[in-house]
Amino acid sequence: MKNRALRTLTLAVALASLAGTAACGSDGSAGHSAGPVTIEFWGWAPGYEKSVELFNSTHPDVKVVYSKISPGSKGGYTKLLSAVKAGNAPCVAMVGFETLPTFAAAGALQDVTPAAAPYAKEYASWAFAQSGVAGHTYGLPVDTAPMAFIYRKDLFAKYGIQQAPKTWDEYAADAAAIHAADPNAYIGYFGNDAYNFAGLAWQAGAKWFGTSGDKWTVNLDDPATKKVAAFWQDLIDRKLVKVVPSFDTALYQGMGEGSILSDVNAVWDTPILADSVKQTAGNWAVAPMPVWDAATPAAGNAGGTPNAVLKGCKNPAQAVEFAHWFGTDPAGVGNLIKETGIYPAALSGLDNPALAEPDPFYGGQRVFDVFKDAAAHVDPASSGAR
C-alpha cells in the first residue's frame, strides 16, 4: 500500500505523456479561404457555448459550430484522436497543456506557427510556449491554472484553527489536530489524480517533461516529485486525509456534510466546488496554497488549455483568428471568468473587470486576487514548461 499512490499516478502520467520521438503535425498552411467559412470546435468546459455565440455575433465571415464532448480525461481526448485518425476531426479543440505533447507525438496537430507568431507577446510567455512543442506552435492559450487552498473557514474555526496553513508542515499539523478532534473529519483528500499531483510537483520544482533533439525527455523520479509523494503518502498512512477520487460524488458528499474540509486545487475548481456543495455557500474561503519554504514561496499550476488546431483543418488562419479572439476578447473572457472560472492567459485579460467581482459562495471574497498572487509565483521553468 505504501507506494501505491505514487505508482498509480506515475503510470497515469507516463501513459498520458506518450514519451517517444516527436512527430509534429505539419501542413502549416495558413492561407485564408475565399468567402465565409465554418470552423468546428469541440470542447467541454462550461461557458464555452456562450463565448462561441458572442464570436459568431460579431464575425459574419466565420461561423464556429461548437460541440460539447466528454472532458478530455474522461474520453474526450480519445474521441479527438480517433476523429483525427478517421479524417473527420474538428478544426479546433480544447487540448490541455499537459496533453498537447501527446497530440503532437501522435501527429494529430496542425502547425500554425506563422499565423500564431504575431500574437505571441499578447500572452504570458510560458503559456504561449506551452501551446506548442519544440518550436512549433499548434494553437493559442485560453487560460492558466494557478493553485490555491480552498477551505471551510467555519469548520477550521470550530476545530480551533483560525487561519489557513501557510506551509505544508502547518498543513500536516492541522490535519492531525482536526482528525484528533473528530475521527470522522479530514483536512482534505488525496484523489490519485495525476493532473492535480502534477501541479503539486510543479510547485516543489519538479521538471517532468522536456525535449532533447527530436526526442521527449521524461523524469518522474526526481527529488522534488519524491518529496511530494512521500508527504502525501505519510498523511495517507496516518489516515489524516481521505482517499477519494477527484470530482467523485463521495468527495462532494464529504465536503457538503463537513467531513472533508479543504481542497488544494486550481482556479477552475472554485465554480465546480460552488456548484457541487451549494448548501454550504458562505462558509468557504480561498487562501494561498501551503508552501515548502515560507522564505521563497512558490505556487503550483494544475491545468490550463490552449485551443489547438487539429491535423486536417482546412482553414487554419481562421482557426487561429478564432482562437485568439476566444482568449482575448473582453466580453468573451469575462464570460469565461464567470462561468468557467478561468484565469486568463492573455495579458489583457488580467485587467478584466470580472476578476474583481466578489463571489457570494466564498463569503463575498474576491477570490481571483488570491490566484493573481499565485500566478505570479508559478515557476515557468518547472514541470509544465517545455
> What is the third-level CATH fold of 15-145+303-356?
D-Maltodextrin-Binding Protein; domain 2 (3.40.190)
- The confidence score (pLDDT) of residue 87 equals 96
Q: Does residue 386 have a pLDDT over 50? A: no
Q: Is 186 helix (H, G, I), strand (E, B) or coil?
A: strand
Write the CA distances from 250 to 1, 103, 197, 255, integer angstroms: 21, 32, 20, 9
Mean residue pLDDT of the chain comes to: 89
Element (H, E) at 37: strand 37-43
Residue 9 banded pLDDT, cuts 50, 70, 90 = very low
Q: Selecting from 3.40.30.10, 3.40.47.10, 1.10.3720.10, 3.40.190.10, what CATH number does the domain 147-301+359-376 have? A: 3.40.190.10
For 228-283, the pLDDT digits (tens) are 999 999 999 999 999 999 989 999 999 999 999 999 999 999 999 999 999 999 99
Residues 6+ apart with CB under 8 A from 322: 39, 41, 55, 59, 62, 64, 92, 307
Residue 158 banded pLDDT, cuts 50, 70, 90 = very high
Contact predicate 94/44, CB 8 Å: yes
Q: Of all residues in the chain, what percent carry a pLDDT higher than 90?
A: 78
Give the span between the Cα atoms of 271 and 367, in whole angstroms: 11
More confident of the two residues 194 and 320 = 320
Domain 147-301+359-376 in the same topology as domain 15-145+303-356: yes
Please report, for the chain, the start and end positions of each structural domain, with discontinuous segments joined by +: 15-145+303-356, 147-301+359-376
